Structure formats: C-alpha cells, structure tokens
Copies of this chain bind each other. A is one copy, B any other.
Amino acid sequence: MRAQARTQSSIAVTGGNVAGGGSWVLVNASPDILSQLRANPDLQPGRQVRDSALVAIILVDAQVDHTTGLYMLREAVRPWPIWCTDRTQADLTRGNPILSVLSHYCGVEHHRIDFGSAAFAVDAVPGVRFRALPVAGKPAPYSPSRDSPISGDNIALLIEDAQSGRTALYAPGLGAIDDQLWDAMQSAACVMVDGTFWTDDEMIRLGVSRKYARDIGHLPQTGTGGMLEWLGRLPSATRKILIHINNTNPILNESSAEATEVGRRGVEIAWDGMEIEL
C-alpha cells in the first residue's frame, strides 16, 4: 500500500499575482487549517504579527469539516468577511454556533450568498467572481433540517476568472447532479467534485458506520449514476478532480486497482498543495 496523508478539504482562491503575496479567499475552513497555512508560504506572507494572506472566507455548508478551522482563525486582527447562505448561517449560530463564538474574538462580517442573483466578488481579491449553485446534499447533523434538506443547506461554488471567463466548479459535497449543476460542469474548465466514497456501502462494509454514502448526501464514485459515470460524459479537455476523499476510500491507496481505474479514466485524485490555474 502506498498512500500519502492528506489534510481535510478546503481550497484558497486568488486572482492576483500569487508570487507577489496576493490576497486569497479561503473556501471552507478545515480543522487542518493551521497545517495548511504552514505548508503554503503564499498564504502566510508574514507582513506583520498574526498576518495571513487570507482576506475572506466562503463556506459551502455548515459541516464540522468545513467550519472548525474558524476557531483557529479567531485571533485575526479584524472581523472575518464570511460568505454563506442563510441556511448555513442559521446552523452556525444555533446548532453549532461558531459564528457567535467568533463574536467574542475577531468578529464576523457576514455576507449573504443568494441563488439566482448575479455572481459576487470579494473586495480584496479582484479578477475572480463566484456564483453559488444549490446542490442536493445533507445539512450537518446539528441542523434542524438534517432529515429534510432545504435549498441552501449545501452549495457548489462556481469560480470564474473574470478576464478569461473560464470557470472551475468546487463541490465537495454532492448528493445528486441536477440540470443546473450539470450545465455548470459541462462549461467548466475544471471540476473539483465530491470524491468522498468509492461505493455507496463503503462505511458499512468497513464497520465504521451504519450509513450509506447517499444517506449522508454524497454521490459515490461507482455504481449506476455514480460520479465516474458523470465525469466520463464531460469533454476530455475538462480537468476532473476528486476532492473531499474519506479515509475509507480505496483510491487513497495509490497502488490500488481503484486508483488505477480513476487514472485510466483521466480523473485526478486531489493531493495537498495541488495548484490549479484557470
């Protein structure tokens, strides 16, 4: 077995000159954010004490693995501009009120993400536009709508280079692919999509949970209508990357038949420090 350790799913986006110490938007704040900052000097230019190159945060949902890093960012010198839907904001001020906890430290400047409206931009990161697409999924276990998801509980993020118009789609949690999302996937130059589980029953077979992938809002890679089938229908020029890979997924073992199969299909398996240029 050959498997490299991976920290938990999140990305940082910039439109500026990376080498020049540009400003970055963090999309999801994983529990591993401190190691991730240390491993990426671009994100920690060290211009002053407690400085980072992160200037805003976008959350795609209220899950623990996408929000716990906010605690580690609490000592920022100014309130964090945080973009999320009303649904996510509700869960993060009630069931798991991280945003309320932050008010005792750096504070939060909340920006609401709406659907259907124009794309939004983040002030200090010019040249990039974001658009949210609602996706089928599951809100966090502490959400009152856990068992009957509501639009806005989970989003996919379409990230556009304003100059070229090229887009990347970021969707770490994705229970199904509807027409709107499929349109976005087809027109994207790069799709980073839910790579959580290889099979629907993976956690059950390993005895770590009694839940199926689809029960918790994740489309497995294999089986009828699985992620690999969808990705196979995209243009061959589209960069296809599996992200948010659970530690039960056999593709993490680089010498596995499953990882080989993914590679054969022209699909990449994300790794820490991966850089994507649009």
A residues near B, CB below 8 A?
5, 31-32, 34-35, 38, 49-50, 64, 68, 71-72, 74-75, 77, 95-97, 100-101, 104-105, 140-142, 206-208, 248
Contacts and interface: CB of A to CB of B under 8 A. Distances in A.
A72 B275 CA distance: 26
Contacts of A96: 97, 101
Contacts of A34: 31-32
B101 A208 contact: no
Given A31-B34, A207-B49, A208-B50, A142 B75 contact: no
Contacts of A206: 49
A72 B104 contact: no
25 contacts: A5-B38, A31-B31, A31-B34, A31-B71, A31-B72, A32-B34, A49-B206, A49-B207, A49-B208, A49-B248, A50-B208, A64-B101, A68-B71, A75-B208, A77-B208, A95-B100, A95-B101, A96-B97, A97-B97, A100-B142, A101-B142, A104-B140, A104-B141, A104-B142, A105-B141
Given A50-B208, A64-B74, A100-B142, 14 more contacts: A31-B31, A31-B71, A32-B34, A49-B207, A49-B208, A49-B248, A64-B71, A68-B68, A68-B71, A77-B208, A95-B100, A95-B101, A96-B101, A104-B142
A140 B102 CA distance: 12
A34 B65 CA distance: 13
User: How many copies of this chain sit in the oligomeric assembly?
Assistant: 2
A2 to B, nearest CB: 17
A154 B31 CA distance: 25
B72 A68 contact: yes
Contacts of A105: 141
Interface core residue of A32, A68, A207 (most chain B CB under 10 Å): A68
